[in-house]
Amino acid sequence: MSIEPEAASTQGAVRTAGAPRRREWVQTLAEAWGLRRTKVGSVMFAFLLLIALFGRFVAPYTPTEFVGPPFSDPSSAYWLGTDFLGRDVLTRVLHGGLSVFALGISATVIGTVFGVSLGLVAGYARRVVDEGIMRVLDVVLAFPSVVLAMLFVSILGPRLWLIVLMVGVSHMPRIARVTRAATVEVVARDFVRAAAAVGVPRRRILLYEVLPNISSPLLVEFGLRLTYSIIMIAALSFIGFGMQPPAADWGLMINENRIAIITQPWVVLAPVLMIGALTISANLMADGLSRAMVGIDRDTAQA
């Protein structure tokens, strides 16, 4: 690490007082990558992401085009058959992933940002503030998240931002809990006290002393929440509160075509497999990350 002190020193001095470091993430990621489950998960996830992003450009038809009779069996013209209106299933599968990804990731990001902020504040402030935040979140936790989302969607209508927000809010209590637990542990350590002793503002203590030290559990939590987001958004689409026809969306496709599950299974199976593969891959990655974290803990204990 003792490389070119001059260049490195000026570099470092600019970012004094510590921009959050990526080092621990890199280490966790590298360790996670060494596990087979992470590799499988990542490759699957990347493949699905590619389909969602670029699949539309190789799709043989447009998603709303009627190409044949409804519920046609797969043939050379339409590889996965047609749906209940006679649209090409392959085309709709290739188009229908983007919404799942975009909504799932943004909902997870929203839930993480709010959950982490609340958890950090609760874990650092303790006492009244802690109790206040955590008990309110317990109330949120007590509502079944799908029912809560349905309630708001039925009042305000099926708006995309609302769905994203509701899914995000449903993640908030759990993420806040994980964050709070990790924060309490870090706050008890002397370097937080040392920062307070020289008068570092609380906000900077949370962002630069505490947050970088809890990034690993949060990374794992993010992966896990992403899985739930995808499932929930697909579920909301299925019951008609998510994406609205004629949009191509995996969740919606399952709902629209479920009557044909016996006669033309591919029209339902294709989106089901995609969602299944997506959640499994996200889960494998999250699992690999958490295992890597435990591995890191073991190393430091032995050193």
Structure tokens at 180: 């709070």
**Which pair of structure tokens corresponds to residue 151?**
């309630």
Q: Are 15 and 54 in contact (CB under 8 A)?
A: no
Nearest distance, CB of residue 182 and another protein, angstroms: 13
Residues 119-158, one symbol each (x = binds another protein by CB under 8 A, - = not), give ----------------------------------------
Three-state DSSP state, 128 = helix
Distances (CA, A) of 225 to 84, 110, 233, 235, 271: 33, 11, 12, 15, 21
Min dist. Cβ of residue 190 to another protein (A): 4
Please report whether residue 245 would count as binding another protein according to CB under 8 A: no
Query: Could you say whether residue 203 binds another protein (CB under 8 A)?
Result: no
Query: Which range binds another protein by CB under 8 A, 19-27, 134-142, 154-162, 283-291?
Result: 19-27
- Residues forming a β-bridge with 87: 66
Residue with token string 């939590």 = 221
Selected from 23, 159, 203, 258, the binder of another protein by CB under 8 A is 23
Q: Does 76 bind another protein (CB under 8 A)?
A: no
CA 68/CA 45 separation, integer angstroms: 32
**Which is nearer to another protein, 17 or 139 (by Cβ)?**
17
**In whole angstroms, what is the distance from residue 281 CA to residue 287 CA?**
10
Q: Site residues for another protein, window 180-199 (CB under 8 A)? A: 189-191, 193-199
Chain residues in the site for another protein (CB under 8 A): 1-3, 5, 8-10, 12-18, 20-21, 23-24, 189-191, 193-200, 209, 212-213, 300, 302-303
